[in-house]
Structure 1
Amino acid sequence: MLMDLASFSEEGFRSKDWVNAACHSKPPDEPIDKYLSEVEMKLQLLAENIAAQLEEQSGNAILRVPRAIREIDRVRDDALSLRGTVGGILQKLEQVEGVSATSVAALSKVDAVKQRMEAAKDTLQDAAGLAQLSASIEDVFASGDLPRVAETLAQMRRCLEVVGEVPEFADVKRQLGALEDRLEGMVQPKLSEALLARKVDDTQKLRNILIAINRFSSLEQQYTKVRMRPLRKAWEEFDVGKGTGSTANVASQEDGAVTGASFGEWLPRFYDKVLLVLEQETKWCALTFPSESHLLVPRLLMETMSAISSSFTARIEAAASEAGADLHQGTGGNAPTGAETRGGSKLATLLTLHGMTGAFARNVQHVLAAVEGEELGKVLRAVYSPFEGHKARYGELEKMQLTSEVAQLDLRGAVQRSLGARAVELSETVRRMEASVPAVMVSLEAAIERCLGFTGGSEAGALVRTLDDVILSYVAALFEVLKSLRAVCGVDGSVSGAPTTSHDDAGEEDWSTVQGALQLLTVSESLGSRTAVFETTLRNTLSTLSHKLHIGGVESPGEGTPGTSARDQPLDVAVLRLIDAPEKARRLAVLLEQAKDPRFHALPHTAQRVQSFQDAVHDLVYDVLIFKVRQRLEGVGTLPQWAAAEEENAFDLPSFSAYPLPYIRSVGEYLLTLPQQLEPLAVSQGDAEGEEGEESFLATEWVFQIAEGATNLYIDQLRSIPSISDKGAQQLAADIEYLGNVLGALSVTTPPVLATFQVCLSAPRQKLVEIVADPPADVDLNTVKHIARVRHVVQDGASKAGQH
């Protein structure tokens, strides 16, 4: 077996593993003990051999140590000698430097004088050349060789720059400016002809002449002037198409204009023509002006948009006005519906035209892919400039739009008041109110979309203020209707509000009125929930605008991520608007930062006003539900039965009625019928919220409120009774007991005051004296004293009954 010594030097060597591995490599026919003995012997021999070699090597190393020490000493001596030699050389260099410093300074002065002399010589040569050029320039102009003239003028300018502000050449400087203007005047007509004929070579030669005399602006101006003509002609085609007479119509059709087309129908055709021209000019300029094409084509579009900006704005305004007028005529002079308004209003027309312009702007960015940064931003500003005035007035326009849509909601139906018409009017009005809530919310959600589509969110502040104002005006309109419904329901406090029909008809109408009033709760709930959901939607929209508009760090185009260009990230005109209006951007940044907080109220006044409306609805519904109770209990305290004297009879029978009086039976029947009347409301609420427990709770809550209100009204009447006889007390106790049974059937606890009335009224006079003297813990003490006073019981503490 061969010994692999490398395994013994490994970090994780384990002797057991090595032995086991050696055993596995044993020949099959060899005994294990013999094999292990051989392995042990080989290991022992190998270890002895290694020990011998180690000893030999150690001895040799010890013998080499003295020799190495002697070598180290020799090297140290050589280093000391070298250090001394170098020190001497340094001293000599210092002496030489001190001696030569004066010579070097003198040579430096001589070199400076030499340079000045050479500069003076060059200046004199340039001055002489300038004078010569100035004298011969007219001959150069006379030759008609424009490139030579340009080169001569360029050389004169270089000479003037070298000469500097020398008084003798002031006239030459003025002459040079006039000569450059003269050459520019000679080049411009030729350049215009070359541009019109699209002659590449001639145009390049003329371009080189203008560049030589630093007149690139003239090239830009002439190029824009020539290339703008077909674009201006395309723009004026709309007016040609609107002309009257056969000649105008034929001309417009030959030029490609759409005769009689609206501006919205015509505008995409104009944009297509502009894009076609831009694509052609981009290719032509890349061939003719490879160094200036990225400047000339954008300048062409910017100058074109600037030239037509005022008429563009006028056409936008006219188209928007026409849309509103056509909408009104299309409805026969009647108020248009909300859907019609959203489809054909002034703001909708602006949004449509702006969308066309947005598509055009995206195509422009694609065509001008080589243009980046601030220059591309200027192009987009020019493209959208006709809409800027309308965007600045967005809040006003949106408010007009929403106010118009809300005003068109007919919250009151025209119902002729007659028998039963009151309930019909109430039901119809409530139905219209309920239907108006989702309609208004749809309009408000559409306003958010319009703001994002028209202003890109840059006018979000104006949107928030407008939405808050419009919702407040809508809720104010609901308040006015609600106020008028109090008269319809007969709970406005006027005598005329009470029903004057027969008992049966009045009863049917009363319950119809109750049902109509209960539906107001659905309106209230719908308004509260939908406004809350809408405000959440608005807040979420605002919170997402920060990233889109780069709010918090508004940057100029090209200052963002390195390498970003029109090909990587199209510019947003909303961002450009905010860059141009830093104060608006700051206010919007504050708003959008606040919107990230879930506690922030995007509509600060809406929630409070909606809550006030809900409270007013609750009050009206309560007044309607309690009205019949109030009507039946009116004047109960002045009924003559309470002071009636006892009647003598031969059989000593009770003289009071064993049944409650009609007034209390009417109240009890009404309260017992009330849960049944609340079932439709509970079902509608349950459908809306999807929870059966919630609907039952609502119905029970209203039953408790009306029962409690009826009890309080009854107690007030009881307190107003001036005098109660024994017979009256017994009758009143029977009435109270009946009401207590009704409350028990409704699972309403009888209040302590009413229970005290029943105890004290049902008790004989002697028992009442005892109660007064020692009142039980579960009675109301003030009520006990009041009943003793109206029943004329002497409260002298002597347990005596008073005599009436």
Structure 2
Amino acid sequence: MAVPTLAHQVVDSLEQYDDVVSWINDTIPTGDSDDDTPPTDLTELDHQITQLLTTLDIASEDTSAELERIIDDVSRGIPRLAYDLHFMKDGASTLQNALVGVLQRSRDAVPKETSEALDNLHQLDTIKERMTAAREVLREAESWSTLEQEVTSLIAERSYAKAAERLSEANKSMVVFQNTTEYDPRRTLMVNLQNQLEAALSTALLSAINSQDSAACKDYFSIFSTIQRESEFRNYYYASRRSALVSLWQDTAILDCDPSTKLAGTTNAQTLADFLPRFFASFIALLNTERTSISSVFPDPSTTLSQFISSTMTSLQPTVPQRLTSYASYHGEAALVHLISALRATEEFAVAIEKIMEKVKYSSSPNILSPRQTSSAAEDPKLHRRRSSRLSISLRPNQNRSSSSTQSVSRAVANAAESMEWDQELFQPFIDFQTDYGSLERQYLEHSLLEVVSNDTRDRVQALDKPRLFRERAVDIFGIAENSMARCKSFTYGYGVVGLVHAVDGFLQSFIEMWTADIRADTGYSSRPTQVSVSDSELSDMDYSAEDWSGIQLSLHFLSSARTVYDRMNVFEAKLRAYISQVATHFRLSSNDPSNFSIAATKGESLLLEQSTLNSAELHTLLTTVENESNPPPFSASLRHQPVTMPAAEVLLVNARKALSAFAQTCQKSTTKTILSPLRNHLAGYASSPAWISTADPSTSISSSELRVPTFSLSHSETMQRIAEGLLNLPRLFEVYADDDALSFSLETLPFVQSEMLQSLSEQTTHDMSGQQTHRRRASVYVKPSKIDPEVVSSAWLISLGHTFLEHLTVDILPAIPSLTNAGAAQLASDLEYLSNIVRALNVEHSALEKWKTYISMDATEGLKALAETNVDGIDQVLEHVAKLRGWR
């Protein structure tokens, strides 16, 4: 019984484990897991396991029934098998006796004289065959004895075709001497005679090639093929025809590939961008000329033209990879755009070659190779991959090969494969740069960033103009980033999208971090008088200077600019996601129908990209993920009773978003520092107040008659009163800026504010406004609304400010108090009690403040008891500080 499709994943995962416990632990993650693995749907998992168990039970029952049936059949067949074997044995014995009788009767039927005559005839036939073989050997020996003289004479008479035929006939007889002592001397003689014939033909051959005498070249090709030197003929032909093109490549000085030519003051120096079109135009002109010549000389014009292109590209000195490497090194970080230009020129050249190749195929009829040509081609498997342009005589051994039909088919397949190699030779030099596209793109983006920054006059811009400059530069930066998608398409045809995402992500991260560092480096603000958005009477009682107001406004303007950059980042990421989705769709169409949907300019370039490291598992994971997000699966009626959860789109610009959050957090910290600066100033001398070492009894007063008179509780100090007034003025400050959207940006990065707290504030505000909670959100994830209620924004900022201030008080100020008398402790307890009531009005609850208030209010007995309890449960730092101040230790 087939396993249902929905349970395939469960079955595959079970097969990877040896025990069920490990599978359960890995499949059902614990609640404290730190990874982002979504929780497993236990209901769905239980349903699939139940279905698998049912399937297993049914399969077990079917297997058991089938096994019982087989056992019954075997049990019934075993007795019959013994009878059949006995019957077969008897039949074989009977047949053997019958054959012996027939043989004996046939011998008896032939007379003795006839049998002796037949034996004599058989012996005579054997002798004849052996004598014939000996005669052939003697003829070959006689032929080899005169071979050198005959061939030398024919060469002297310029009867090259007859000399080739004579060598071909002698070559066929080489097999007679194989595995004998005569083989090596005859092989050496054969090679020497072939070399003599080749040397005699070389001058005339070069003359015929240079004069484009197609008829003579065809005759010479036939001769070279006869003596199994077809590859040498091709080397002669290719080297002669490409000499002018190779000289053009070698003699032209390229400024951005060979810097020494620029220093030498070469007059004909050019840039590679100018030289490549000229070189390729000359190459196309040569190919158009050779298209006719090659068709009339060679029996396989398409393959020959492909080999001619490949051999020409590999014979260039300096090589194409060397010049491209120098080219990229010369242009440095901006090398990518120049490499794209060179690749585009090469692709245009390749498209023009494809048209020529198509004309060659249409103009030439199918050619059938002769046995000699097939044997020659099969002799050297690397015949058409030889890259040597050296016009020398080879000394390779000569071997006979059979010209079977199988070799003809193999040769045809080899020709078809080699006809595609020319474009791989063209694009092979680019593949290393294409696989390194991510680094090249990042370097170019960083180079563009430096160009933008070099035109930036941030140091001469007034402080309040910097947020505007940040927004303007963001427009330039995102424009540069958007162009990277076109570069990725032009240079890698989408194979480099993984590197593109990493490069753009790092580029935006660098830009934002640069501004973050700039904000952190600014210790002060412009002294230029600024227009404050609030009136003097509104907040005149607050202890802020004009510089403080400028600092607050500057931070808010930066936050507003950060919101603008965040919106632009969302738009850019949507464009990036759409581009990746297009790449995924194009790849899928090309995989399904490669003939109509090609990826690169030519098949060879597509094959190189497909075989490169760019075609990685990470690429296909990214393409699949983005394509699935863009095209969610249709709703299935069979799952209508099951909960359907649509996963959120995967964030592509992870580091850029983190950098923007860090930028917002830096602005928020700067704003917090400025807002709390008056309160921090009030606390400057709080730790050194003389009230902490006062010896007066805080609970009684002593009269002259030694009568102790009870007193009322102490009032808070003047410093704490001023701090409380400052804290109570904070809501008024946020009422003034309530309509500023900058405060609502990135609330989750505020110090001491968590997403759950924001959700709780949002739900509480909704409940207060409507009188009842109309919508209950899940508490697992905080979702940022498009428009946050101003009360939620104010509450979040007040909570953050309150916690930040109390953290400064409890960590930096209170532990700095040198000591406390009973009167000082009473005064401090009164101050902390008053402060605790004030911050509660701001919806702030600080555990450290509550501990300080509680421990300071204890007497010695209670304090020692608390110390004894903490020694058992663990160390309480606040209690340790208080015990030190109160002298309990």
User: Are 2:602 and 1:570 aligned?
Assistant: yes
| Contact 1:347 1:397 (8 Å CA) reproduced | yes
The structural deviation recorded for 1:263 is 3.3
In 2, Cα distance between equivalents of 1:568 and 1:322: 27
Residue 698 and residue 408 in structure 1: after superposition, are their counterparts in 2 closer, same or farther (change >3 A)? farther
1:271, 1:360 within 8 Å by CA — same for their partners in 2? yes
Residue 383 of structure 1 and its aligned partner are, at CA, apart by: 1.6
Instruction: Give yes or no for contact 2:806–2:846 (8 Å, CA) kept in 1.
Output: no
The reply to whether residue 428 of structure 1 matches residue 465 of structure 2 is yes
Q: Distance in 1 between matches of 2:684 and 2:171?
A: 110
**Compared CA separation, residues 221 and 533, structure 1 to 2 (3 A):** same
Query: 1:144, CA displacement in angstroms?
Result: 1.8
Q: What does residue range 489-528 of structure 1 map to in structure 2 within 5 Å?
A: 507-525=545-563
Q: Which one of the candidate residues 672, 696, 707 is aligned to 1:622? A: 672
CA contact 1:539–1:596 (8 Å) conserved in 2:
no
Counterpart CA distance in 1 for 2:318 and 2:565 is 44
Q: Which residue of 2 aligns with 1:407?
A: 450
Amino acid at match of 2:161: P
What are the Cα deviations for residues 715-743 of structure 1, in whole angstroms up to 9, with x where unaligned? 97999999999xx99x9999989979xx9
SS of corresponding position for 1:206: helix
Q: Deviation at 1:512?
A: 2.7
**Residue 705 (structure 1) aligns with:** 799
Matches within 5 A, 1:90-169: 96=102, 115-168=129-182
**2:355 alignment partner, one of 366, 375, 378:** 366
Once the two structures are TM-superposed, the CA of residue 399 in structure 1 deviates from its matched residue by: 3.9
Tell me the C-alpha RMSD between the 2 structures.
5.9
Is residue 2:788 matched to residue 1:694? yes
> Aligned partner of 1:432: which letter?
L
CA distance in 1, matches of 2:463, 2:600: 61
Match of 1:271 among 280, 289, 292: 280
- Shift of the 749–269 alpha-carbon distance from structure 1 to 2, 3 Å rule, reads same
Alignment of 1:300 with 2:303, yes or no, is no
Q: 1:150 touches 1:212 (CA, 8 Å); kept in 2?
A: yes
Structure-2 change in CA distance of 1:138 and 1:564 (3 Å): farther
State the secondary structure of the residue aligned to 1:694: coil
Q: Which residue does 1:383 correspond to in 2?
A: 426
CA–CA distance in structure 2, aligned partners of residues 240 and 484 of structure 1: 46
Deviation at 1:122, TM superposition (A): 3.2
Displacement of 1:221 = 0.8
Higher helix content, 1 or 2:
1
Quick one: distance in 2 between partners of 1:442 and 1:113?
94
Please state how far the C-alpha of 1:213 moved relative to its aligned partner: 0.5
Q: Name whichever of 188-197 and 618-627 sits farther off.
A: 618-627
In the TM superposition, 1:256-655 aligns within 5 A as 262-291=271-300, 293-310=301-318, 312=320, 316=324, 345-369=334-358, 370=361, 374-387=417-430, 390-391=433-434, 394=437, 396-410=439-453, 413-414=457-458, 425-456=462-493, 470=507, 473-485=510-522, 487-488=524-525, 507-525=545-563, 570-573=602-605, 575-576=607-608, 579=611, 584=613, 588-590=616-618, 592-593=620-621, 596-597=624-625, 611-631=661-681
Q: 1:123, 1:163 within 8 Å by CA — same for their partners in 2? A: no
Amino acid corresponding to residue 589 of structure 1 in structure 2: A
Question: What's the CA shift string for 1:174-232, capped at 9, x where partnerless?
Answer: 22211111111122222222222222222211111111111101210111012102323
- Give the aligned residue type for 2:491: F
Matched residue SS, 1:679: coil
Residue 279 of structure 2 aligns to which amino acid in structure 1?
F
Q: How many residues align?
A: 597
Contact residue 154 and residue 213 of structure 1 kept, 8 A: yes
Aligned residues of 1:519 and 1:681 also touching (Cα < 8 A): no
Q: 1:663 and 1:566, CA in 2 relative to 1: closer, same or farther beyond 3 A?
A: closer
In 2, the alpha carbon distance for the partners of 1:701 and 1:567 equals 55
Amino acid at match of 1:621: T
- Residue aligning to 1:497: none
- The equivalent position to 1:194 in structure 2, one of 208, 213, 226, is 208
- Give the distance between the partners of 2:143 and 2:808, measured in 1 at CA: 122
**Quick one: which of 653, 673, 682 aligns to 2:733?**
673
Scaled by the length of structure 1, what TM-score is found? 0.58
Higher radius of gyration, 1 or 2 = 1
* Structure 1: runs of 5 or more not aligned: 1-87, 243-251, 253-257, 325-340, 417-423, 491-501, 554-559, 647-655, 758-779, 790-804
RCO higher in 1 or 2 (8 Å CA, sep ≥ 6)?
2
Residue 151 of structure 1, CA deviation = 1.1
The answer to whether the 8 A contact 1:632-1:663 is kept is yes
Secondary structure, counterpart of 2:787 in structure 1: helix
Q: Which runs of 5+ in 2 are unaligned?
A: 1-93, 257-265, 362-413, 528-539, 627-648, 702-714, 747-782, 860-889
Question: What do the CA deviations read for 1:654-703 (whole angstroms, capped 9, x no partner)?
Answer: xx99x9977755654453132322423359969xx997633646633544
1:192 and 1:222 in contact (8 A); partners too:
yes
How far did 1:569 drift?
9.2
Query: What percent identity do the matched residue pairs reach?
Result: 17
Question: Partners in 1 of 2:851 and 2:505 — Cα distance?
Answer: 53
SS in 2 for 1:693: coil
- Residue 609 (structure 1) shift: 5.4
Seen in structure 2, the aligned counterparts of structure 1 residues 119 and 543 have a Cα distance that, compared at 3 Å, is: farther
Contact 1:629 1:710 in 2 (8 A): no
Return closer, same or farther for 1:708/1:503 CA change in 2, 3 Å cut-off.
closer
Q: In 1, Cα distance between the equivalents of 2:674 and 2:421?
A: 66
Letter in 2 for 1:453: S
Give, in angstroms, the shift of residue 300 of structure 1: 1.9
The offset of 1:468, in angstroms, is 5.9
Contact kept, 8 Å, 2:205 with 2:220, in 1: the verdict is yes
Question: How far, CA to CA, are the matches of 1:785 and 1:392 in structure 2?
Answer: 66
The answer (yes or no) to whether the contact 1:521–1:617 under 8 Å persists in 2 is yes
Q: Is the 8 A contact 1:535 1:603 kept in 2?
A: yes
CA distance in structure 2 between the partners assigned to 1:781 and 1:98 by the alignment: 123
Deviation at 1:480, TM superposition (A): 2.0
Cα pair 1:153 1:180 within 8 Å, conserved:
yes
In structure 1, C-alpha distance between the alignment counterparts of 2:677 and 2:280, rounded to whole Å: 69
Residue 189 to residue 120, structure 1, CA distance change in 2 (3 Å): same
| Residue in structure 1 matched with residue 707 of structure 2 by the alignment | none
Q: Distance in 2 between matches of 1:299 and 1:750?
A: 81
Name the amino acid aligned to 1:145: S
